[in-house]
Amino acid sequence: MAYKSYLSLDIGSQHTRAWLFDNEGGEFKLKGGSEAQTTIAAGMNIQEGVWDAMRKLQEITGRRLLAHNGKPILSQDNINMGVEQAAICLSAGKPIKTALVGLTDKASLAGLRRLANFFYTEESVLLSLQSGLNATGMLEKLVESNADLIVLAGGTEQGAEKPLRSILENIRIYYNSLPRLFKPQVVFVGNSGMKEMVIKELEAGPDLHVAENIQPVYDQFTLAVAWDAMLTAFERIRLLQINGLQELRQTFNAKIIPTSYAMGRVVRYLSKTSKGDKGVTAIDVGAGSTTLAAAHNESFIGTLTHTPIGLDTGEKVSTWSSIELDVETATTYMQNKKLHPAFMPASLEDLAFEHAWTRVRLQDALGNTKNLFPEFKYAQNRGLDGIYEPIIMSGESLVNVPSLIQTCLMALDGIQPNGITTLALDKDQIMASLGSLATVEPLLAVQLLDTAIFTNLGTVICVDSPARDGEIVLTIEVAREEGQREILEISKGQLKRIEVNRGVHIRLYLAPEKDSDVGMGKRGLGGWVSVVGAEVGVIIDARGRPLQLPKSTPARSKLIRDWIWALGG
C-alpha cells in the first residue's frame, strides 16, 4: 500500500489538538499528538493556535509539517514531510442562536429540538402554529430571537401545504429585510413534496439547506436524513463567525464539522461492529458542555447539555462531594471556574469539587438526553439500562485524574449503569479526531479503532436487588488462569473491586440471590462471564439504583470517601 499520512485537528474552546497518523509499516498508526491554546478571542486568528499545535507536533514526531512560510505542507511528494490531507472538527464558538419552526409542538418541534441540539445550537425561539400567535406575532418573535439558524419542519409526507406557506413567508421576510451582520442559514427538513416550493419562496440561495423529511410519518423521526444539511449550515455560520476559519478551510480543503458529530461517527461505527445485541455510548464532559452519543442497532442519539451554574447545581454538587462543603462554596467554585476555565484543581478540596461537579454534569446530560429522546434507556431513579457496552468516557475532568479508579467511580455515580458493561476511557481525547478523519480515509479510523486506542478501565457488574443493606445479594466464583479459585460474597450496598492484571483473562461465575438481577435477563439468573484484565479490573456495584445518599452532610461525604477507598483509590 502506498505511504499516506493524515493530520486531524480538533479545535476546542480551550485547546486546539493536532494528531498525525500514517501507514508506515502497512497499517495506520498514530504518530503523535500535540496541544496548543485555541486562539479565538477578539483580535485573534484561529489559525495561530493551529499553527502552534502543528509546530509542536513537528517537534514531537520529527516530521516537517510547516513550510518556511509557516503554512502547512500538503503533499506526499517527500516521505519525510507534509501530509496527504487533513480533517478538522470544531467545538469552539458561542452556541448558535437557533429558531426552531414547525407546525405542531408535539410532533414538529420535538423532532427539531432533537436534531438541532447536537450541532452546538441554543434555542432562541420555538415557533409553531400552535403557539397561539398570528402571522404578525410570529414574525416579531422571529425578529426578537435574532437567530443565526432557522430549522424548519413542515409536516408529514403528503401533509397539508397551506400552514407551511404562512410560516415560510415570515422566514422570507426575516431573511431578506433585516440589517443583520450576516444572513441567517435556513434548514428545511419537512414534507419533501414542498422542497421546490420552499426553494422558490425563500429565495435564500446558498443559505438554504434542504433535506429529506425528518418525520415522514407522524411520531417517527429519522434525524439522519438532515445531518448533511445541518453540517453545511453549521459550517457556513462558523466560517462567518470565527476569524481565520475560512482561510483554514481553504488551506486544508477540509470541511469543518462539529466535534460532537465527529464523536457520534465513532460511536455509530463501534456500535455496528460490536458483537451481540449491545450498543455503544460515549460521554465527553467538556469545559462548556457535555456531549452524549449513543448508538444501538440502527438508532442513534446525540445530545449536548449545558448544565446551568446556579444554586440548584451548587446544591447537587455539594451533595456529591467527598468532602463536606456547603452550597455557597460549591457555587463559588463553579462561578470562578466559569471565569477561569483553564483552572486546574491543585488541592484535594478543589479536586473533590471538580469530581462532584463531573458527577452532576453526567447526571444532567443523561437526564437531558432522556427529555429529548424518550426512547433513551435511562431513568433518573434507575440509571442507564445495560444495553450499552462499552461506555466510553472522555473530557478533561475524567481524563486528568490522580487515579483511574476515580474516573470509574465518577462514571458509576454519574451514569448509574445497570447489568454488566465495560468502561473505557478516551485518555488521549482522540475520539472526535478519528471521527472527522473517517470520511477522508475510512480505513484509518477503522484500523485505529481496532487497536487499543481507548483505555479499558474495567468491567462493571451491577446488582439490582430489593434486599436490605448488608444482606448477601450475589456470590461470585473467581476462576483465574493459573487455576486459583476464590469465592466472594457481595452484600447489598457494597462496592467491590476484583483486581485483574492487564491482559490476563479470568472467568467469573455469578450466582445472584433469587431476587437479584445482574443483567443476565432475569432476576436470580446467573452464569459465567469472561473478563480480560484492565486498568481497574472488575467492579461489583451492589449499591442499588438509584444510589441512596445519607441526608447528613458528614455521613454523605464519608460514604463517598468510603466508596473511593473500597475501590482502592
Q: Is 514 in the site for other proteins (CB under 8 A)?
A: no
Q: Is 160 in the site for other proteins (CB under 8 A)?
A: no
Binders in 219-238 for other proteins, by CB under 8 A: none
Of 25, 62, 179, 503, the one binding other proteins by CB under 8 A: 179
Q: Which amino acid is at 462?
A: C
Q: Is 336 in the site for other proteins (CB under 8 A)?
A: yes
Of 139, 293, 405, 500, the one binding other proteins by CB under 8 A: 139
Q: Is 400 in the site for other proteins (CB under 8 A)?
A: yes
Binders in 70-89 for other proteins, by CB under 8 A: none
x/- site string to other proteins, residues 6 to 45, per CB under 8 A?
A: -------xxx---------------------x--xxxx--
Closest approach of other proteins to the CB of residue 346, in Å: 4
Q: Is 94 in the site for other proteins (CB under 8 A)?
A: yes
Burial status of residue 41 (CB atoms within 10 A of its CB: 0-12, 13-18, 19 or more)? exposed
Closest approach of other proteins to the CB of residue 311, in Å: 7
The rounded distance, in Å, linking the Cα atoms of 216 and 190 is 8
Q: Write the secondary structure of 165-193 as one string of H (helix), E (strand) and C (coil).
A: HHHHHHHHHHHHHCCCCCCCEEEECCCHH
The rounded distance, in Å, linking the Cα atoms of 35 and 19 is 9
Q: Which stretch binds other proteins (CB under 8 A): 21-29, 171-179, 185-193, 477-485?
A: 171-179
Q: Is 184 in the site for other proteins (CB under 8 A)?
A: no
- Of 355 and 370, nearer to other proteins (C-beta) is 355
- Of 79 and 311, nearer to other proteins (C-beta) is 311
Q: Which stretch binds other proteins (CB under 8 A): 173-181, 422-430, 469-477, 555-563?
A: 173-181
The rounded distance, in Å, linking the Cα atoms of 438 and 461 is 33
Q: Which stretch binds other proteins (CB under 8 A): 218-226, 300-308, 325-333, 518-526?
A: 325-333
- CA contacts within 13 A on the Cβ side of 196: 1
Q: Which amino acid is at 424?
A: A
Q: Which stretch binds other proteins (CB under 8 A): 232-240, 247-255, 400-408, 535-543?
A: 400-408
DSSP 107: I
Phi, then psi, of 221 in degrees rounded to 5 = -110, 135
Closest approach of other proteins to the CB of residue 322, in Å: 12
Q: Is 331 in the site for other proteins (CB under 8 A)?
A: yes
Q: Which stretch binds other proteins (CB under 8 A): 2-10, 263-271, 339-347, 381-389?
A: 339-347
User: Which residue matches cell numbers 500514517?
Assistant: 22
- Of 214 and 567, nearer to other proteins (C-beta) is 567
Closest approach of other proteins to the CB of residue 166, in Å: 8
Work out whether strand 85-90 and strand 121-128 pair parallel, antiparallel, or are unpaired. unpaired
Distances (CA, A) of 21 to 80, 82, 420, 428: 13, 11, 34, 14
Phi, then psi, of 73 in degrees rounded to 5 = -95, 115
Q: Is 181 in the site for other proteins (CB under 8 A)?
A: yes
- The answer to whether 125 and 99 have CB atoms below 8 angstroms apart is yes
Q: Is 343 in the site for other proteins (CB under 8 A)?
A: yes
Q: Which stretch binds other proteins (CB under 8 A): 107-115, 263-271, 331-339, 374-382?
A: 331-339
Give the residue among 497, 501, 518, 517 at the shortest CA–CA distance from 562: 497
The rounded distance, in Å, linking the Cα atoms of 227 and 116 is 9
Of 24, 140, 247, 489, the one binding other proteins by CB under 8 A: 140
Closest approach of other proteins to the CB of residue 180, in Å: 5
Q: Is 243 in the site for other proteins (CB under 8 A)?
A: no
Measured over all CA atoms, what is the biggest interatomic distance in the chain, rounded to whole angstroms?
78
Work out whether strand 5-11 and strand 15-22 pair parallel, antiparallel, or are unpaired. antiparallel
Q: What share of the chain is helix, strand, coil (3-state, %, to 5)?
A: 35, 25, 35
- CA contacts within 13 A on the Cβ side of 266: 31
Q: Is 346 in the site for other proteins (CB under 8 A)?
A: yes
Residues ≥6 apart with Cβ < 8 Å to 354: 345, 397
Q: Is 136 in the site for other proteins (CB under 8 A)?
A: yes
- Strand locations in 306-443, DSSP E? 378-379, 383-384, 388-394, 420-425
Q: Which stretches of the chain bind other proteins, using CB under 8 A? A: 13-15, 37, 40-43, 93-94, 134-136, 139-140, 143, 146, 165-166, 169, 172-173, 176-181, 201, 311, 314, 328, 331-332, 334-336, 339-351, 400-403
